[in-house]
A and B are shown apart, each in its own frame.
Chain A
């Protein structure tokens, strides 16, 4: 029997921190707030590490029952926590990266108003995210799911005095509602047909199904609805629109929530419910298509963005697309692998970008940067690591995960592979574009001219503090950067495929979770390693060669992107304008993100608002409800206005009313008596 790990403490600790900071933080000094926040978040991380130390001795999956939450008839939902390899990975990512970003935030937010508020929210987010990844049933998971949405709303709108921030928060929230709606319906369907939301029971029941058996379309429906939820949370087409706007929030938030952890919740959820998806091939295809499209689509947009954070945001979307592509081709472990590496390098990139912004006193527009290489070397080097990682240059982390996904995609269908490849090319292109524009060339900003407090485009004023001019960030910000940089260099090595004479540890580690999904290649490889007869050797080698070939191609694509970026943005900086002018319409379209927002605004938002205003507001609320109230009030007024004349204050008239009343009473009594 497993020892009791008290998993429930892991989510609870940040909650305590949030409660303390939220309740009393106003009176605390900044140091005290920092202490509380870091203490509890770090405690959670430490506990996660301790869990890892215990992990080998556990019989998996390991569930811990804390309390019964809902019991309605046969249906029961508990406060119970579920630990297996997948949730362990997520747990490490969330608590670790989260802890690092907490540290980073201390430096980044030090000058901000509402410091305690920020950390209270951050801890709150940690609580919900950990609940999400540790939940042992869909309902508890949904709590975390909604909670992280709430936290993200609060943090996006952290500078709520800024109109754009507030509306961005609302946008994120509402768009997420759509997804959550799908998720919720999926949960209802599960309850209706399987009478439970507990992972183990549900999956046991479902594993009896198979794509051929009846009820497959039910699973498809459930899977698709779940996917809708995932799209909402993980910013996939068509619900990705909130993520770019979410960059209104403070950069650490963007790093933690909108790059590393929360947006990957969708991927995690899909991976978690792989049992359902595997039995719904149609749904899988949809997931793959959505993933690929999102990846390419976002990448193309990212090419044209000039706001450093926006570029990263779109790259995030496209990377998430990769993950969904992986899930779509049933390579869940690959998806999770990419999730992990992505958490490292994208968190790193965001933090580095934040450091750059910090250095430039709030400047976010890349066109006003450049030549920062020498001025902020640490940021530069860390960012370089991140850039190479995301661009998929070996041996950085991103290379392995992305290559894995591409290879799997190819095995599913070459179209996926092609799109993925082009996406990889584009990714490396715009990332290096960002890299070059930010750190190379000569400085295009105006910060030296009149000290600090320059145009605080993105993050509002607070950066205009003390020392003017460009300055390296404090240690407290740099240390997390370095750690993450290291991670994004070596992070991929846990998953070196056999084709490169590695043993895909990560995939093997996750295998028990996805055992049912181990694809043919995996089987062969295991077979090979198990030394099954020599028959497999030939194709084995061919498959290796093919894989290596594809790897080479993708690396070449990445390098091409690097070269192009160098050519366009360092060598001939005037070239991009020419190109842009040459293919004018397309460039505009890309620049305006394919007018998706406008499209949504016209198709959904505007009709909704107009309908609400005309029908609900003017029609029902004013026309019916208010009208009835007002009308009755007016009627009462009129009646009393006429009756009022009885109250003339004249005693004799009162007496007359009494007299007539008495006469009436007498008449009635006579009538009664005479009946």
Chain B
């Protein structure tokens, strides 16, 4: 039997890793992955709570999160492609100007 807090701690760790990745990574794609990581952490906590309170809605929310993540990934990657097409770089530190 696993206490709920373990799951929560796990999801918190994942989330923190995601934030850290967002902070220290330079590659846009990796940063996007960090976002996905954060979302996964959140999903875990959703499911854990769902199991805790016997509420399936938690799992439903996970689906919504997934849909949103999918949409975000789609648009985000498209944006990345557009950016790369114009700037020839994926390094966010070099993508800090609104106009070229």
Residues of A within 8 A of B (CB): 648-652, 655-656, 659
A652 surroundings in chain B (CB, below 8 A): 22-26, 31, 92-93
B23 touches A655 (CB 8 A): yes
Q: How far is the CA of A90 from the CA of B95 in the complex (A)?
A: 87
6 contacts between A and B (CB under 8 A): A649-B97, A649-B98, A650-B92, A650-B93, A652-B31, A655-B23
B92 neighbours in A (Cβ, 8 Å) = 650-652
| Whole-angstrom CA separation of A656 from B96 in the bound complex | 15
Q: Which 4 A-B pairs have the closest CB atoms?
A: A649-B96, A651-B92, A655-B22, A650-B96
Q: Contacts A649-B98, A651-B31; is A656 near B23 (CB within 8 Å)?
A: yes
The minimal Cβ–Cβ distance linking B82 to chain A, given in whole angstroms, is: 16
- What string of 1s and 0s marks CB contacts (under 8 Å) between B85-100 and chain A? 0000000110111100
Q: Which residue of B lies closest to A651 (CB)?
A: B92
Contact residue range for chain B? Answer: 10 to 19
Expressed in whole angstroms, the minimum distance between the Cβ of B27 and any Cβ of chain A is 11
| CA gap between A656 and B31 in the complex, in Å | 13
**Closest beta carbon of chain A to B92's beta carbon, Å:** 5
Nearest to B20 among chain A residues (CB) is A659
**Which of A648, A651, A656 lies at the interface centre, i.e. has the most chain B CB atoms within 10 A of its CB?**
A651
Q: Is B66 interfacial (CB-CB < 8 Å)?
A: no
From B26, B96, B97, name the one whose CB has the most chain A CB atoms within 10 angstroms: B96
Return the CB mask of B52-96 against A: 1 if under 8 Å, else 0.
000000000000000000000000000000000000000011011
The residues of A that contact B17 with a CB separation of less than 8 Å are none
Residue B19 CB within 8 A of the other chain: yes
- 20 additional A-B residue pairs with CB within 8 Å, beyond A648-B96, A651-B28, A659-B19: A649-B96, A649-B97, A649-B98, A650-B92, A650-B93, A650-B96, A651-B31, A651-B92, A651-B95, A651-B96, A652-B22, A652-B23, A652-B24, A652-B25, A652-B26, A652-B31, A652-B92, A652-B93, A655-B22, A659-B23
A649 to B28, CA, bound (A): 14
Give the distance in Å from the alpha carbon of A649 to the alpha carbon of B100 in the complex.
13
Q: Which residue on A lies nearest to B31, using beta carbons?
A: A651
CA distance A402 to B9 in the complex (A): 115
Q: A648 to B23, alpha carbons, bound, how many Å?
A: 14
B61 to chain A, nearest CB (A): 20
Shortest CB distance B94–A (Å): 10
- Note all chain A residues with C-beta closer than 8 A to B98: 649
Instruction: Give per-residue flags for B17-43: 1 if the beta carbon is below 8 A from chain A beta carbons, else 0.
Output: 001001111101001000000000000
Q: Which residue of B lies closest to A649 (CB)?
A: B96
Measured CB to CB, the closest approach of chain A to B95, in angstroms, equals: 8
Q: Closest A residue to B16 by CB, please name it.
A: A659
> When chains A and B are docked, how far (Å) is the Cα of A650 from the Cα of B22?
12
With the chains together, A650 CA to B24 CA distance in Å?
12
**A652→B94 CA distance, assembly (Å):** 11
* CB closest residue in chain A, given B22: A655
Residue of A nearest to B93 (CB): A650
| A324 smallest CB distance to B (angstroms) | 79
Chain B residues, CB < 8 A from A651: 28, 31, 92, 95-96
Closest to B34 in A: A655
User: Bound complex: CA of A652 vs CA of B98, how far in Å?
Assistant: 15
> Which of A648, A649, A655 is the most central at the interface, judged by chain B CB atoms within 10 Å of its CB?
A655
